[in-house]
Chains A and B, each alone.
Chain A
Amino acid sequence: MFELYSLVILMIVGSLVAIHTKYLLSAVISLSLVGLILCVVFLYLQAPDTAITQTIVEVIALVILIRAVPIKKDTMGIKGAKETFSAIVTTIFLVLFAFFAYKALLDLPQFGFPLMTVSEGYIRDGLVKTGSANIVTAVLLDFRAYDTLGEATVLFTAILGAIVVLRKVGRK
Chain B
Amino acid sequence: MIFFLSFILFLIGLYCVLIKKNLLKMVMGIVIMEYSVSLFLILLGYKKGGFPPIVTAGVEGTNFVDPLPQALVITAIVISIASLALIISLCMRIYQKYKTFDITKIRKLKG
Contact = CB atoms under 8 A, between A and B. Distances in A.
Interface residues of A, number: 83
B99 to A, nearest CB: 9
Interface in B2-47: 2-9, 11-16, 18-22, 24-25, 27-29, 31-32, 35, 38-39, 42-47
Interface residues of B, number: 76
Contacts of A65: 24, 27-28, 84, 88
A133 B86 contact: no
Interface in A40-68: 41-42, 45-50, 53-54, 57, 60-61, 64-65, 67-68
Contacts, number: 235
Contacts of A166: 89, 92-93
Interface string B58-88: 0000101111101111110111111111101
Main secondary structure of the interface of B (DSSP, over half): helix
Contacts of A35: 31, 35
A64 B56 CA distance: 38
Interface of A: 4-5, 8-9, 11-12, 15-16, 18-19, 24, 27-28, 31, 34-35, 38, 41-42, 45-50, 53-54, 57, 60-61, 64-65, 67-70, 76, 78, 80-81, 87, 90, 93-94, 97-98, 101-102, 105, 108-109, 111-114, 116, 118-120, 122-124, 126-127, 133-136, 138-140, 144, 147-148, 151, 154-155, 158-159, 161-162, 165-166
Q: What 6 A-B pairs are tightest by C-beta distance, nearest first?
A: A112-B48, A158-B82, A135-B53, A139-B71, A162-B89, A135-B67
